Structure 1
Amino acid sequence: MLVTAAGTATAVNVIKSLSALEGVRIVTTDSNPAQLIAAPTRWQTTHYQVPLASDVEAFVDALSRIAKQESVDAIYPIHDQEILAVAQFRSRFNDTVKTPALTAAAVQECNDKWKNFQKCRASGLPVPDTLLGSELTAQNFAAPMVRKPRRGVGSAGVRVVNAYDELRPDDLTEDVVFQSVCIKPEYTIDVLALDDYFGAVVRDRLETKAGVCVKARVFFDAELQALSQRVAAAFGLRGMFCFQVMTDPAGGYRIVDINPRCGGGTALTDACGYPIYATYFSDLLGLPIAAALKDQCRQRTEQGGSALVCRYYQEVVTFESAETAP
């Protein structure tokens, strides 16, 4: 199994889960060398440093070469640009290499907040009113509004704007969107969509750092499960994905973000006895344990209830040789 962007929190959670699956060997890639990320030392992965996915040709060439050299059976890309690159150039990989069942169009509709808004509206999904920065005027500005990068990760570049004269020139471009303000609670829904199983778990994001949930209340909700099915159908999402909802001041949920992959906080869902990672990867790899894991997911859903989950950091040390140490 090859996992990209191995230095990210999302990848670490995936690698940690994969390491517990018997018979699975893990290959990792990242723009950093092995000694600057935890996975190679902590979980004994075979690691390769690769170009950033912004250089699509170089990234795909490196990934396809590694996949062939390491006899990789499946690839799980983590970063948004990596997911898109793999989806766009799936034909560059050996036919036996499995990749997430996502089209390039679906990935773009998730990662581009303007396209995401248009797709949701066309599909009848609840979303905040949204305008491109280039279309915003003093007349259609409805204070307060939330300013977001059109293509962004986490909370970078997100802020509330209370008056039109607070805007800067770089806000009024096609690279920025403005949305009507929603209120808390802010929920992330972790979804597992397989051919013979569909499940959704809700995380109440009690605390986040740099856009990643570090404290959460995890529970199950029939209304949000039904909304998850509508999102999956509209965007053609399969495997693991997650999306966020907040509440409109007038009432009702609004979808504020969709990710065509698991999230940095999905590990909090997994920790509550819902084995989302192991179930997905065992199904992807055709492992015999897949059926039992799906049953465990069903049983956990039927059990219901809620749980509070906190996460913590752990240090990993990679010893350098005497020749390279300072």
Structure 2
Amino acid sequence: MAKSKIAIYGAIGANVAIAITKFVVAGVTGSSAMLSEGIHSAVDTFNGILLLVGLRLSQRPATPEHPFGHGKELYFWSLIVAVLIFGLGGGVSFYEGIQHIRNPEPMRDPIWNYIVLAAAFVFEGTSFTIALKQFIGQTHGQPFWTALHRSKDPTTYTVLAEDSAALAGLLVAAVGIYASHRLDMPALDGAASVVIGVLLVGVAVLLIRESRGLLIGEGIRPETAREIRALALAHPGVNGVGEILSMYIGPDDALVTIDLDFDDGTATDQAAATISTLQREVRARYPMIKRLFIEAGSPPESDGASSREATARRTPAWSREHRVRRMED
């Protein structure tokens, strides 16, 4: 979390300086693209503050009302950030661009635009480099795009997405301003603003998609579940593994439940030892699984009293007591 904060602080610092400069120059030169860039940087600044709020709230301890903690606070606030990028960043830039196309105004003293764009590119590039280094340090050797898709830390990929959009937006603004001035076509400046708006909307949609999946209960990857199943089946006495249920409740905090089916006649102490060993193996291989619940025994497919008797014979007493306590709770 501390490393995530470094990337966010870097982005906020860069965006505050850039936003102020862009707004001043937009007022001096009358550039629509520069005004859109100023709005973009202002929204990014506010978004960074919201991500810090989400980080702080997500670290609150568990309570009786929230027994699994508040890790999903971060996912909620990252969704709010994505919505702001969509509405304030993309929507306002698009609107401003359309207005400038409909009522074009000649640009005044464009040299200031180039100076600010160059400075902004340096600042945004620095912020992007900090975020990229933080992210690469968390990939554990995975390919970049694979790691980005699998990341459950919205602070990292949100800052990366924002900085990438900012760098692309700066290039679009530079092309629009140059073409507008060179060809004496003020409407091209507005067209650049529209392109920046579309770019921000696209980034926002991708971030909303990621946040939605995590908020509604995204679980561990299918290949991870298959590997856990293989670990369980490798133990003597385990003849079956039920459905593995899982859910991320924080960037590095996954909940996993496993139902093991043991051979008939398996002793209670043997089943307990197997479960204890499996817990150590799973946690050692997958550190993000911090809440692991394993139950032993599964009822046969027959019905009636014979089914209940068979279940009682096959399910260790400690497991039956655990299930009873869960039902009473």
Which bin holds the TM-score, normalised by the shorter protein?
Answer: under 0.3
Q: Relative CO higher for 1 or 2, CA cutoff 8 Å, sep ≥ 6?
A: 2
Q: Which has the larger radius of gyration?
A: 2
